Structure 1
Amino acid sequence: MDKVFTKPITKQFEFDEDVAVVFDDMLERSIPFYKEVVDLTCKTICHHVKEGAQIVDLGCSTANTLLALHKQSDKSYHLLGIDNAEAMLNLARQKVHAYGASVEFVQADMTHVDLGSKDAIIANYMLQFIRPLQRADFVAKIYQALNPNGLFVFSEKIVFEDKELNKQMIDLYYDFKRQQGYSEFEIAQKREALENVLIPYTEEENKAMLKNAGFSTIETIFKWGNFATFIAKKKV
């Protein structure tokens, strides 16, 4: 059970061992329709790619999405998970071993790693942690790494242009967290820990960034309040 923010924080948010051991619980209780988004991500990719496809999950954390791909498809994929947090990858390896899945993991800084050539790239709730000055260049790097007709599927927390609407969406999100059992203190603690660490864009800013990188098809395939899932396709 996630109890990370029941005590006063002493540092900004980090994906360390304290977070890793409760991360799956944190995801399901902090992200609306988390399981449904993972399911939609995997089904979208499985419908699109062929046998032997090269698929990478950037910021794979404990490998939930990669394991879902392994379970859902009768095709054989080359699955790669990249994360910069050793604690996350240690848990990911344990889970993959338990399920008998074939997944490669690399611990690396996402902005510097060589992505090679991929048929599908996943980045769920990861881009928002990349500094804005680096984010556009990183998305361009993702575009270059995709093979023709390749897919980039990613989810993000978003903000709204309209300040009143944005506040309403934030309030609705905090209501969601309260319904998951988080206290007012925990909500405030996490908000403070993530300040200047998680920097979201608007839906339009995310789409503009994808367009500038060269993607031809850009769609929002899921949205709940201030969370959205996007799909971007590289030209054939």
Structure 2
Amino acid sequence: MASFCDPDIVSGYAARTEQLVPGLRHLHKMTGLLLAERAPADARVLVLGAGGGMELKALAELQPEWRFDGIDPSAEMLQLAETNLGSLASRVTFQEGYIDKAPEGPFDAATCLLTLHFLPRGERLQTLRGIQRRLKPGAPFVAAHHSFPTQGAEPDKWLTRFAAFASLSGVLAFQSENNIRTMKERLPVLSPEEDEALLREAGFSNVELFYAGLTFKGWVGYK
């Protein structure tokens, strides 16, 4: 959390994230497409981890009648989201905090992008259950985050590939072995199989993988 209160990190968040996440803009478009399969034209959408506003802006541009509740624990990141959204911010209600601070809904759809990999398994399950409980029956949920094999030499292999992609995108700091080691130590990453099982344990059905970009995976599921 501390890093997302650092003014330098906050100001460069959007550009840096686009360099690190393969196909980020297309991920946002696919998210909008999957939500719109079931969400109505005037949907109310819960966006957990909304700081920065990147997915909020993409979804608001795709669906002009949708309204959003954007939740994030960083006040600085929420301010960045409001700034980046411009006039679209009038369709978003911002709330600082975690899932327990989110309105009860019920919501027509929900997203949690590039967030859950920060949470240990127990907290992740509680967060997913909090999202699921706030959805209408049959409502879609999209999650995407770091998820890769966690046994043996697999983490090193996949994190090296992630670092190489970042370097090709111009993020030179990710070339160092120290950064790879820091990610291994600080991110409680689950394997894709564990992530899917956790979504089902939280109450989501028909869970499907729709996105895979090196270390990042994305799923859609339904209440």
Superposition TM-score, scaled by structure 1 size: 0.85
Q: Percentage identity across aligned positions? A: 20
Match of 1:54 among 23, 27, 44: 44
Aligned equivalent of 2:152: 163
* 1:222 and 2:211 are equivalent in the alignment: yes
Counterparts of 1:39 and 1:123, CA distance in 2? 14
1:128 corresponds to:
117
Q: What is the rounded CA distance, in whole Å, between the counterparts of 1:187 and 1:98 in structure 2?
A: 40
Task: Give matches, 1:59-208, under 5 Å.
Answer: 59-74=49-64, 76-99=65-88, 101-108=90-97, 110-116=98-104, 117-161=106-150, 163-184=152-173, 187-188=176-177, 190-191=179-180, 194=183, 196-208=185-197
Q: 1:164 to 1:189 in 2, by over 3 A?
A: closer
Shift of 1:183: 2.2
Deviations 1:178-228 (A, max 9, x none): 101222566456446545442111111111111112212101001122210
State the distance in 2 between where 1:217 and 1:121 align.
15
Counterpart CA distance in 1 for 2:14 and 2:201 is 34
**Pairwise CA distance, 1:111:** 4.1
Say yes or no: does 1:28 pair with 2:18. Answer: yes
Q: Distance in 2 between matches of 1:100 and 1:90?
A: 11
**How far off its partner does 1:29 sit?**
0.9
SS in 2 for 1:29: helix
Q: Number of residues paired by the alignment?
A: 221
In 2, are the aligned partners of 1:81 and 1:106 still within 8 Å (CA)? yes
1 or 2, which has the higher helix percentage?
2
| Aligned twin of 2:198 | 209
Unaligned runs of 5+ in 1: 1-11
Shift of the alpha carbon at 1:233? 0.7
Cα distance in structure 1, aligned partners of 2:10 and 2:63: 27
RMSD: 2.2
1:169, distance to aligned residue in structure 2 (A): 2.2
Measured after TM superposition, the shift of residue 99 of structure 1 is 4.6
CA gap 1:157/1:100 in 2 versus in 1, 3 angstroms: closer
Unpaired runs of 5+ residues, structure 2, are none
Normalised to the residue count of structure 2, the TM-score between the two structures is 0.89
Asked if 2 retains the 8 angstrom alpha-carbon contact of 1:220 and 1:231, the reply is: yes
Deviation of residue 170 (structure 1)? 2.1
